[in-house]
Amino acid sequence: MKGVIAMIAKIVLLFIAGLTIDLLTTLYTRKVADKKLWPATFLSGLITLTNFVLLTFIIKDTDPNTFFNILAYAGGNTIGTYIALKRG
């Protein structure tokens, strides 16, 4: 039971991470379009660092649920895009 709770918590956290990254990516794209040099530069570095850490975390995990972790992260990205575009 403890393992199942940990797995669900991990999947939820990866979903939230994917959602957050996608919202940041949309904000970054807007800053680039508006030619806001420093905000775009900061967001670019933050997004790259965060993606690298998260993807390393997902890939290095030898857990048999790695596929579900990837799906959770991708689902978060998908919902993040939807929210960002819906907000306009």
pLDDT value, residue 65? 77
| Separation in Å, CA 77 to CA 28, 38, 55, 80, 85 | 15, 24, 13, 5, 12
Do 14 and 54 meet the contact criterion of CB atoms below 8 Å apart? yes
- The total number of structural domains in the chain stands at 1
3 pLDDT higher than 90 = no
Query: What is the widest separation between alpha-carbon atoms in the chain?
Result: 51
- Rounded Cα distance between 52 and 35, Å, is 25
The structure's pTM equals: 0.82
Residue 4 above 70 pLDDT? yes
Q: What domain range includes position 19?
A: 2-87
pLDDT tens across 31-77, in order? Answer: 999 999 999 999 999 999 998 988 888 777 667 778 888 899 999 99
Question: What pLDDT does residue 61 have?
Answer: 67
Residue-level pLDDT at 15: 94
> What CA–CA distance (Å, rounded) separates 46 from 65?
27
Tell me: pLDDT of 1 over 90: no
